[in-house]
Amino acid sequence: MEQKQKILIVDDKVENLITLEKVLQEIQVEIIRAESGNEALKATLNHDFAMVVVDVQMPEMDGYELAEYIRSEEKTKHLPLIFLSAVYSDDYHVFKGYEAGAVDFVIKPYNPYYLISKVKIFLKLDEQKKELLEKLELEKSKNYLESILMSVNDSIIVLSLDGVMKTVNKAALSLWGYKHKEMIDSHFGKLFENDIYSNWLNSLNNYDESQNKTNFTFKKIEVNLVTKKKLIIPALLSGSALLEREGSIQGAVLVAVDISDRKRSEIKIQQMNEELEERVEERTCQLEQSNKDLESFSYSVSHDLRAPLRAISGFTNIIYETYTDKFDDEGKRLINVILDRTKLLGMMIDDILSFSRLGRKDVVKRTIDMNKLFAESFNEVTGFCKERNIDFKILHLPLAQADAALIKYVITNLLSNAVKFTRYREEANIEVGSFIKDDKVVYYVKDNGAGFDMEYADKLYGVFQRLHSDKEFEGTGVGLAIVSKIILKHGGKVWAEGILNEGATFYFSLPPK
């Protein structure tokens, strides 16, 4: 609702104020009364007046003094004042009124229509002044917004609802290569390879306030721009409705961002990825072939070593049995050393064969009851040492999806090690349990045996790598390497923790069932 203009009337006599108010009531204005100069000054602080009608003769502060105060304030220094007076009607007082800042001096008694016509003139001037100030402010805002628009790096185009370009910034001119006059008042369709905005503009044009306001915006999409020289440029484009103050849609704003560099980078990255994939595939094939060659070599060498090793062992036994009475104690000791070493070498060859065969073996997965498999394996491992005092615990274990034969080898190996390395404990403690880590099931075998120094933990799973001497604990150093290879083939991993002379815990993880 439009606000009425306000007029301040000032007189120390209430009857004069009532009379003046009746005279002015035919004008559509809001009238504020003041019965003294001080009251009038307070009113100017709380209201924006179009003009003031003031009686000259008043006690304490007369009209002239009030006018001077009004003129001294920034807010009211241009406020039009009309003086009324019945006493001061001579030229001296009239000119004094004009000097004080009055725009007119009306002598009482006056013709009401004469006063009304005077007031209407100044009210009209006040309206024109406000309109002019609004235009100046609007022009100032427009210039400010245009300066911002021109300085933005993104390309911006303002359209009417029929798709005609009304404003373009420098970035848009530079991107499309047109001059300002070539874009303004022309249709925006020439700027794009495909028509993507017409339907959206039509929806804005036919917009109903009851509709969902998501129609106001056009989401970011990738498009191809067409420059003046018919070059195709990839860009990221978005749009939004341009609203007037009252909320009606008067047009649309498009924003375009050149993504040529990004596209070139994406193509380059894609090419690099393809090249990398080719290299990885090539290297993988080479590695697979190398592994196959190595496995074949290991198998052949191990197999070929069996015959001479059996010969060495057989002939050594014959010599020992045939000529035992001809050897002294040192000779007999050396013969036994040869037999022990050939036996150990035989075990190592068997382990190498097992390790090489493992690379060629496919993993056939099925559901395994791990509680049952650990219990059976422990009974097999301890079958030859019933006299041992072993406290064996199996905490509840989840089922596993794995190759039963291969996982049994893992379990048997870990339990055999636990039994072997707790040999010198009066009471051996072996615990089997599980937990979840990184979405995988982790099984562990924990013992209170010889343990190991964590500094050398990385050697545990290497072929022929041992942390204890043959005199302390027998073995070839291949078992844990096979364990590691089996678990890796299942998509899991192995690791261990230990403290020298206090015990060790061996872990292996498997994907969940």
pTM summary value? 0.40
Q: Residue 381: how many CB atoms within 10 A of its CB?
A: 22
Q: Residue 172: how many CB atoms within 10 A of its CB?
A: 25
Q: Which has the minimum average pLDDT: 37-46, 144-153, 280-289, 362-371?
A: 144-153
Residue 115 lies in a domain: yes
Residue 234 lies in a domain: yes
Q: For all residues of the chain together, what is the average pLDDT?
A: 79
* The pair of three-digit structure tokens given for residue 432, joined into one six-digit string: 């089997």
Which of 258, 279, 296 finishes a domain?
258
User: Is residue 193 domain-shared with residue 275, that is, in the same domain?
Assistant: no
Q: Residue 493: how many CB atoms within 10 A of its CB?
A: 15
Per residue in 336-367, is it b (16+ CB within 10 Å) or e — as a string? eebeeebeeebebbebbbebbebbeeeeebee
pLDDT score for 508: 93
Higher pLDDT, 330 or 152: 330
Nearest alpha carbon to residue 459 among 409, 490, 495, 491: 495
Which of 196, 225, 258 finishes a domain?
258
User: Is residue 367 domain-shared with residue 484, that is, in the same domain?
Assistant: yes
Residue-wise pLDDT for 421-454, tens only, equals 888 888 889 999 999 998 899 999 999 988 887 7
User: What is the spatial distance between Cα 459 and Cα 463, in angstroms, rounded to a whole number?
Assistant: 9
Residue 275 has pLDDT above 90, yes or no: no
User: Is residue 272 domain-shared with residue 317, that is, in the same domain?
Assistant: yes
User: Is residue 171 domain-shared with residue 273, that is, in the same domain?
Assistant: no
Q: Which range, 42-46, 112-116, 318-322, is most confident? A: 42-46
Contact 107, 97 (CB under 8 A): no
Residue 440 lies in a domain: yes
Which of 142, 166, 187 finishes a domain?
142
Q: Which has the minimum average pLDDT: 186-190, 332-336, 393-397?
A: 332-336
Mean pLDDT of 104-121: 79
Residue 16 lies in a domain: yes
Residue 112 lies in a domain: yes
Count of domains forming the chain:
4
Domain at 62, CATH number: 3.40.50.2300
pLDDT score for 142: 56
Domain at 458, CATH number: 3.30.565.10
What strands lie across the sheet with 232-243, from one edge to the other?
165-168, 155-160, 249-258, 232-243, 217-226
Domain at 233, CATH number: 3.30.450.20
User: Is residue 315 domain-shared with residue 397, that is, in the same domain?
Assistant: no
Q: Percentage of residues in the chain with pLDDT exceeding 70?
A: 79
Residue 202 lies in a domain: yes
User: Is residue 457 domain-shared with residue 329, that is, in the same domain?
Assistant: no
Residue 147 lies in a domain: no
Q: Which 3 state secondary structure label does DSSP give 390? A: strand
User: Is residue 244 domain-shared with residue 305, that is, in the same domain?
Assistant: no
User: Is residue 368 domain-shared with residue 442, that is, in the same domain?
Assistant: yes
User: Is residue 445 domain-shared with residue 502, that is, in the same domain?
Assistant: yes
**Cα 353 to Cα 289, 317, 330, 347, 487, distances in angstroms:** 18, 25, 35, 10, 18
Higher pLDDT, 301 or 201: 201
User: What is the spatial distance between Cα 463 and Cα 415, in angstroms, rounded to a whole number?
Assistant: 19
pLDDT band at 370 (very low <50, low <70, confident <90, very high): very high
Residue 294 lies in a domain: yes
**Cα 276 to Cα 23, 86, 267, 272, distances in angstroms:** 94, 103, 14, 6
User: Is residue 242 domain-shared with residue 279, that is, in the same domain?
Assistant: no
Contact 31, 46 (CB under 8 A): no
User: Is residue 412 domain-shared with residue 490, that is, in the same domain?
Assistant: yes
Give me the domain span that covers residue 98.
5-142
Residue 148 has pLDDT above 60, yes or no: no
Angle at 209 between CA 246 and CA 217, to 5 degrees: 85
Residue-wise pLDDT for 50-63, tens only, equals 888 888 888 888 88
Question: What's the count of helices (H) and strands (E) in the chain, helices before strands?
Answer: 13, 17
User: Is residue 368 domain-shared with residue 504, that is, in the same domain?
Assistant: yes
Residue-wise pLDDT for 210-223, tens only, equals 455 555 777 778 88
Domain at 353, CATH number: 1.10.287
